């Protein structure tokens, strides 16, 4: 018989899994609990929802998932939007690890990328607050500021009529968050943890987003890599019971995508993802 604590954990995992993979129509009342964000007609979990679910299933060595982000030249705003999402997700990972130095490093990156996106003024106060809160180890406040940063970027882009671009912020964050979550699951694999990455509906949405690109942006190497990788990722996530090998493949695909985003338009020696 399942014990009461186990039952609560299973309910939490199922609730998070619904948030991760559900294609939901916008309505006044949602069955999905926050924190999530709406991207078009799709519910996308913010990273701390995913990481919180994993923490409910046992201790996680988040320090092993922290990365020092370095990136190459950014040639277009869509690539910058993907990168911005990666940076915000990295912030949540650093907070999970309670790594003050890693969190402080992200403040200047947030400002630099937001300038290319045309939203620097809107997020400057958030970047400063992230650094200040990290220096004082006020981790709950850092989480709140990361949430506010992502929300501010989306609101600002909507006012600028850049809603489509905002979806790429969510996509980049999902790639980095999924990479980190898969790494944590592999470190202590269980079927319950693997269930969190059963997200085919969300991948299908991102495929539609990337396929909607036109012109020169659609032909950029970063976008081509994303377009080529998503069908395989969706196929793996459609499986009813994800195995350790499946999670390993998901981790490798997302890690490759994050590296591609960091490198921008690939050129010899143009930026790498550093080791922790």
pLDDT at 257: 95
In a domain, 113, yes or no: yes
For 114-140, what is each residue's pLDDT tens digit? 988 889 999 999 999 999 999 999 999
- In the DSSP assignment, the letter for residue 64 is G
For 201-216, what is each residue's pLDDT tens digit? 899 999 999 998 888 8
pLDDT at 73: 77
Residue partners of 178: CB distance under 8 A and separation at least 6: 50, 197, 199, 250, 254
HSE value, Cβ hemisphere, 13 Å, CA-based, for 190: 11
In a domain, 3, yes or no: no
pLDDT < 50 stretches in the chain: 1-41, 265-276
Could you identify the residue written with the tokens 């069908």? 231
In a domain, 34, yes or no: no
| Backbone φ, ψ for residue 38 (5° rounding) | -90, 125
Closest CA to 237 of 206, 201, 192: 201
Cα 65-51-208 angle, rounded to 5 deg? 95
Give the helix/strand (H/E) hosting 272.
none
pLDDT at 236: 92
Residue 139: CB atoms within 10 A of its CB come to 17
In a domain, 95, yes or no: yes
Give the helix/strand (H/E) hosting 104.
helix 100-117
**Distance between CA atoms of 111 and 115, rounded to whole angstroms?**
6
Contact 110, 119 (CB under 8 A): no
**Counted domains in the chain:** 1
In a domain, 222, yes or no: yes
Q: How would you label 8-34 residue by residue, b for 16+ Cβ within 10 Å and e otherwise?
A: ebeebbeebbbbbbbebeeeeeeebee
Contact 54, 44 (CB under 8 A): no
In a domain, 228, yes or no: yes
For residue 41, the SS3 value is coil
CA 245 to chain centre: 22
In a domain, 64, yes or no: yes
Closest CA to 66 of 273, 276, 234: 276
CA 158 to chain centre: 20
pLDDT at 43: 56
The residue range of the domain holding 244 is 46-263
Closest CA to 175 of 49, 240, 88: 88
Pairing assessment for the beta strands 36-39 and 42-45 based on DSSP bridges:
antiparallel
Cis peptide before 35 (omega within 30 of 0): yes
In a domain, 170, yes or no: yes
Q: How would you label 115-129 residue by residue, b for 16+ Cβ within 10 Å and e otherwise?
A: ebbebbebbeebbeb
* Residues forming beta bridges with residue 36, ordered by sequence position: 45
């Amino acid at each position: 018989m399942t014990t009461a604590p186990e039952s609560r954990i299973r309910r939490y995992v199922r609730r998070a899994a619904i948030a991760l993979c559900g294609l939901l129509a916008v309505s006044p009342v949602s069955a999905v609990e926050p924190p999530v964000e709406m991207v078009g007609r799709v519910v996308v979990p913010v990273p701390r929802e995913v990481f919180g679910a994993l923490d409910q299933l046992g201790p996680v060595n988040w320090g092993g998932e922290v990365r020092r982000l370095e990136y190459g030249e950014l040639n277009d705003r869509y690539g910058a939007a993907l990168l911005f999402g990666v940076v915000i997700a990295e912030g949540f990972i650093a907070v999970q690890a309670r790594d003050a130095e890693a969190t402080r490093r992200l403040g200047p990156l947030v400002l630099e990328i937001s300038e290319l996106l045309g939203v620097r003024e809107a997020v400057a106060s958030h970047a400063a607050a992230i650094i200040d809160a990290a220096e004082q180890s006020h981790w709950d406040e850092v989480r709140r500021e990361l949430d506010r940063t992502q929300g501010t970027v989306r609101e600002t882009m909507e006012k600028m009529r850049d809603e489509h671009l905002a979806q790429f912020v969510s996509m980049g964050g999902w790639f980095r968050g999924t990479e980190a979550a898969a790494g944590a699951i592999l470190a202590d694999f269980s079927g319950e943890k693997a269930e969190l990455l059963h997200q085919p509906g969300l991948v299908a949405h991102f495929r539609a987003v990337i396929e909607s690109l036109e012109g020169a942006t659609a032909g950029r190497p970063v976008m081509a890599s994303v377009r080529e990788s998503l069908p395989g990722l969706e196929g793996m996530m459609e499986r009813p019971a994800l195995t350790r090998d499946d999670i390993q493949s998901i981790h490798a695909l997302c890690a490759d995508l994050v590296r591609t985003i960091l490198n921008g338009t690939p050129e010899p020696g143009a930026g790498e993802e550093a080791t922790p």
